[in-house]
Amino acid sequence: MKSSMKLSAALLSMLAMVAGFSFYFKDRAEAATRPQELQKTSATLSQPAADMNAELASTEPEALYGPSFSFLAWNLFVQAMAPTADGTPTFETWTEQCELNPDSVGCPSAASLAVAAKAAGNAKVRILHGSGLARGRKVAGSDCAAMTTTPVGGYPAPSNLAPNAVYCEEVFVNPVEADFVKRSLTTLVAQEAYGNDRNGAITFPGTGVNDSRLDLDSLEIKVDWVPVSSFSNPTFTCPDSSNRLYTETINGTCYALAAVHVSSKVMPTWLWATFEPNSSITNPNRCDAKLYNTCFDPWGTTSSSPYGKGETAHQSAELRDAMTVAHLHPAFNNYFLTGVQTQFVDRYGKPISMGNSFVEFNQGVPPGKSSCITCHQYAHYDGKQPAQGQPQNNFGRPPHGWPSVGYACNVNQNGNCLPEVPNTTLQDFSWILGLMPYTEAAAKAPPHSSQWTAGN
């Protein structure tokens, strides 16, 4: 497994096997990891200034580097989705976040997993759960969460949702990240102790920045599954004969893969990428600028500019060939990269937005207020014991008055100014750490015997 997942120093592996494109995209991938000035072509120089600014603002950071970031995002996606010997996608053989510490907030109980095992029959039991951000909307009798069926910030919910629509989440980490977290970070107290020895910061294994270089960069895959029962007509089946949705029967229920988030510590502030199927059933609001953002993928599609809801983008020959070489399920040909994010603001200081029309909407994120890199920058532990059964006090949100897009700073918006609370432990953009219990003993104590005081 390790050898099949190893990223070279040039960030090139699975996609590099596509004949005719290897050397060009090797250079582009290398360029994506080092700062450089924007190269102004004659066409760009002849463009009116207002139009040029608008285009660059909408395409950052690809405007700085061309297609290399989207290439890298697809590189990671193809590796993660590549089938193993038994046909299982590679990422499903990794460690799910609830396996890092089963007492983490939101993880299924032993009784719940027993029920899942009975439903799964002879198949592998999967640890489905709700989103950490939507943990207050857990559905009775289920470990999953209710989908958003009412408008969010005035933006309407999809019209095809069933009254009791639910969705489930899994978050997988690759072997190097799992080993790193299990070593000494599975409780908040342990994280604080680890940070105290390292200037108050936890740093995940990654290119040129980890404290003990490992074979791989940390990689996380968050997937959102939606059961067939969550939709009225039209719907889908398992397997999906149209190959427009990747579907699996999980714990006895038919699910479609509605969203994929990929984050990699290939860069110091991580690389953030989100993917969605081109499906009017599960993702009818994909690429809507009125919700979160248009879509832009200069490598995986033939489109050289951002495109919006209802507009057609065609898969590039390079991506199609790469998926064929890696033997991906044919349904993945209908999955598209919404966007890649590596910076907080564009070259004009404008905050960069990026969100998944399925993930963020069902977590209740208001339109225009989604930024992966900004949200995750707020991941830090304040040293205070949270209420039992609750994540760390600041989980999943900016401090009051701080922005949700752009730099994670409430004053002088030209750089980050975290932490806002002295003596905090920075968690290197990982909200997974914020779901860990305070201590192992606190996680197992009954509520009435807990010694915590809310807000202390």
Per-residue pLDDT tens digits of the chain, which is 456 residues long: 433 334 333 334 433 333 333 323 333 333 333 333 222 222 222 233 333 233 333 444 444 444 689 999 999 999 999 999 999 999 999 999 999 999 999 999 999 999 999 999 988 899 999 998 877 677 877 899 999 999 999 999 999 999 999 999 999 999 999 999 999 999 999 999 999 999 999 999 986 554 444 456 899 999 999 999 999 988 899 999 999 999 999 999 999 999 999 999 988 899 999 999 999 999 999 999 999 999 999 999 999 999 999 998 999 999 999 999 999 999 999 999 999 999 999 988 899 999 999 999 999 999 999 999 999 999 999 999 999 889 999 999 898 889 999 999 988 778 898 888 888 999 999 999 999 999 988 666 665 433 332 332
User: Residue 87: which residues within 8 A CB-CB, separation 6 or more?
Assistant: none
pLDDT score at 237: 95
Listed in sequence order, the DSSP H helices in 249-398 are 317-325, 359-362, 372-377
d(Cα 456, Cα 454) in Å, to the nearest integer? 6
Q: Residue with structure tokens 């909407």?
A: 361
Number of domains in the chain: 1
* Cα Rg of the chain, angstroms: 21
pLDDT score at 449: 38
Q: How many CA atoms lie within 13 A of 265 on its CB side?
A: 27
> What value, to the nearest 5°, has the Cα angle with vertex 412 and ends 201 and 203?
15
pLDDT score at 420: 82
**Domain that residue 20 falls in:** 2-174+217-370
Enter the DSSP assignment of 200: T
pLDDT score at 443: 63
Residue 113 lies in a domain: yes
User: Residue 288: which residues within 8 A CB-CB, separation 6 or more?
Assistant: 294, 308, 309, 357
Residue 190 lies in a domain: no
pLDDT score at 224: 98
Residue 252 lies in a domain: yes
Residue 411 lies in a domain: no
Residue 386 lies in a domain: no
Enter the DSSP assignment of 42: H
Longest dimension (CA), the chain: 71
pLDDT score at 208: 56
The pTM of the full predicted model, rounded to 2 decimals, is 0.84
d(Cα 229, Cα 378) in Å, to the nearest integer? 35
d(Cα 80, Cα 65) in Å, to the nearest integer? 24
Residue 446 lies in a domain: no
Residue 58 lies in a domain: yes
| N- to C-terminal Cα separation, the chain | 44
CB 310 within 8 A of CB 327: no
d(Cα 15, Cα 79) in Å, to the nearest integer? 9
pLDDT score at 281: 97
pLDDT score at 447: 52
The amino acid at residue 373 is I
pLDDT score at 254: 97
- How many C-beta neighbours within 10 Å does residue 421 have? 14
